[in-house]
Structure 1
Amino acid sequence: MPIYLDHAATSPMPAEVLEVYTRELARRANPSALHAVGQAARMRIEEAREDIARAVGAATSSEVIFTSGGTEADNLALKGLYLTRNNGSFDAPTRPRVLTTRIEHHAVLDSVDWLADLGAEVVDLEVDSTGRLDLEAALAELRRDPEATALISVMAANNEIGTLQPLREIGQAAAELGVPFHIDAVQALGQIPLDFAEIGATAMTITAHKIGGPVGIGALLLDRSAAPTPILHGGGQERGVRSGTLDVAGAVAFAAAVELVTGDLEARAARLSGLRDRLIAGVESAVDGARLSGPRGQGRLPANAHFTFPGCEGDSLLFGLDARGLATSTGSACSAGVSRPSHVLLACGMDEDAARSAQRFSLGHDTTEDDVDALLAALPEVVEQARRAGMVSATPRWMQGAS
């Protein structure tokens, strides 16, 4: 059985969640139907919505808008809020400014770049070498022209290097200035406490498959006063914001996964932090030149350890570890198969060679000390082999010389 150290990409479904999911899949009904079977399905959807709302600190269950996942939720938040702030039009926007960082997930970055092509003015907020937002500079930028600002979007925790961001300070300032604040909390859910109401955000993205739920279901937490312009049109489900037949089985399993990871969050985070620190100390001791990316201790996600290995190609490390039964990652799974340096590491000031030498180890509910020790035993040889192979061109060999 391979040792799975890529929970940040997708976390395997625990038995408790799988049981709930498979039971629900055996039922059939559209929750919008008016017959008794349909209304029973609707009741299960609403119970799931209430469970998720309670776990993440939403004021009411109506603030949970189900989506197909994190990517859709990010797109809905950014594009929908931008349009609403600009009277539903891209023509001559009165609030063109969109504030974000360049270490966001591509679901945010690509949405922001799409808005820029249509007239938005993107303001890049600086991060330091650990990936942490320069809070003072960000607040100054937020206060510089709030009347012309459509929204600010900052992730709760970076999906590659695990850096946590100062959400409450941003939320307080954004609320005072009347600027919508969106959080991508996909990686943070189940690892750090999330309280949507306390943070003061307008919208917050979460998804199921990062916490052991099914792929294809997520949610946008949306303040009751917010009304983003829909980007999907149809039956008017989910407060008229996100049309589409609701996935009952997915929502119920999502709620079960949320309850599982948040019910004992403190103990879970402590266990993962211990494994993470064991891994970090072991890598630094066993591999010459290994460099931890992101901050240490409480400044990073409990389940994230990310290193660069000078002189190595990230893919060489990945395949070397994979051949030894260890599943790891070079970074975001959404960029898998694309031979290019991490945009996150470049934004943190690394050069391209360093950014291409990365390996992410992300832990989860089934990770053990033996798993960490197996990685530490295999890694020195894999690094040595990768260093002998050296860095390769960013252009795949089969493409070299092609016109």
Structure 2
Amino acid sequence: MTRVYLDHNATTLLRPEARAAMIAAMDVCGNPSSVHGEGRAAKALVEKARAQVSAAFGADGADVVFTSGSTEGASLACGDQELQGASIEHDAVRSWINEKLSVGMDGSVQVETPEKSTLQLANSETGILQTLPQGLAVTDATQAFGKLPIAFNWLGTTRALISAHKLGGPKGVGAVVLKRGTEMTTQIKGGGQEMGRRCGTENVIGIAGFGAAAEAAARDLENGVWERVEGLRNILEEALVAGASDTILVGQSASRLPNTSCFATPGWKGETQVMQMDLAGFAISAGSACSSGKVRASAVLTAMGYDEITAQSAIRVSLSPETSESDVLRFADTWLAKEKTYRARVA
């Protein structure tokens, strides 16, 4: 059985450009903080990647601070502030929110005081996009970066979180992007690396992979790759609507990521669907990967106003440029057959 991976919002495939950059970086033995030739060679790799990430994210003139990923980035960017935010934020950001903002049934969030608020650019579960107000304190751009033509310099936010493994880089490396001149309290004290904002020896190999992946992702956007992915997502949803009339497509009328489909068949638990589809050879999810293994209603759908039964029944399918039309149609046929079995059992 050939497996089909449809959980790219959790983590996506390592790009060949990232793999090549990482392999090359393994042969550079110096510490980036050392002043000798070997140290300068390692530092050059870090700075090259910083420039690649900055260019791909449209962050010319901003500060790119490398971290171990968006979770550490959230701690760094949010930990020194009293923030307002909504329950649809990723757990890594939601844990820092002091005052909750309301969410509409369409997934939209109204922000009254941007300078004291955090608002994700794209939701990892539903794919729904937000319009960011100017002066926003923090945005989680992890899911949007590499999938949408965005630029930090016109997003209007002071701090942004991004991560390598969502766009074809390695796991365990990310960045906080800061508007130049922004003060930020370090959460890890030590030798003063990363402009004194994130101490500890840099993950040179991972950072090199992040830079190469960001550069390749920017090329994909320029070449219109994600338009084809959106077409596949639409084919999938058309098949689901035609074959399962009781299934709810979440955020179908909203602006969404081109690769993300979240849908619920009330009463058929999402965790059960994930296991059944896994046995059939398909990797999907029931919410954020950071919440995997926890049988509970989706906090995102609950915040949007869905009842608990529906929120417990949601699954997410997330595609990539490597996904084929055959993959999508095979998934739809298999899922619809299991949905029919479920309906017969509960009738």
Scaled by the length of structure 2, what TM-score is found?
0.95
Aligned CA distance change for structure 1 residues 341 and 388 (closer, same or farther; 3 Å): farther
Shift of 1:373: 0.6
Aligned twin of 1:158: 123
Q: Secondary structure of the residue that 1:229 maps to in structure 2? A: coil
The equivalent of 1:100 in structure 2 is 85
- What letter is aligned with 1:381? A
> Which structure: larger Rg?
1
Instruction: Tell me how large the CA RMSD over aligned residues is.
Output: 1.6
> For residues 3-402 of structure 1, what are the structure 2 equivalents within 5 Å?
3-60=4-61, 63-80=63-80, 82=81, 98-112=83-97, 116=98, 122=99, 124-134=100-110, 138=111, 141-142=112-113, 151-167=116-132, 170-171=133-134, 174=135, 181-266=137-222, 267-296=224-253, 299-387=255-343
* Post-superposition CA distance 1:116-136 (Å, at most 9, x none): 4xxxxx1x22221121223xx
- Aligned-residue identity in percent: 37
Secondary structure in 2 aligned to 1:202? strand
SS in 1 for 2:117: strand
Cα displacement string for residues 328-360 of structure 1 (whole angstroms, at most 9, x for unaligned residues): 001100000011101000000011110011110
How many equivalent pairs are there? Answer: 344
Compare 213-222 and 279-288 and name the one that shifted more: 279-288
TM-score, length-scaled by structure 1:
0.82
| 8 A Cα contact 2:17 2:209, kept in partner | no
Matched-pair contact (CA < 8 Å) for 1:286–1:376? no
d(CA) in 2 for partners of 1:250 and 1:324? 33
Distance 1:386 1:329, change over 3 A: farther
Note the C-alpha offset of 1:387. 4.6
Unaligned runs of 5+ in 1: 83-95, 117-121, 144-148, 175-179, 391-403
Q: Report how far residue 193 of structure 1 moved.
A: 1.7
Is the Cα–Cα contact under 8 Å of residues 287 and 380 in structure 1 kept in the other structure?
A: yes
- 8 Å contact from structure 2 (residues 14, 168) kept in 1: yes
CA contact (8 A) 1:317 1:359 kept: yes
- Cα deviation for residue 160 of structure 1 reads 0.3
Structure 2, unaligned stretches of length 5 or more?
Answer: none
Q: Deviations along 1:182-236, whole A, 9 cap, x unmatched?
A: 1100000111122111122110000001111100100000111111111110111
Residues 133 and 319 of structure 1: CA distance in aligned 2, closer, same or farther (over 3 Å): same
Please tell me whether the aligned partners of residues 45 and 252 of structure 1 are also in contact (alpha carbons under 8 angstroms): yes
| SS at structure 2 position matched to 1:204 | strand
8 Å CA contact 1:65–1:219 kept in 2: the answer is: yes
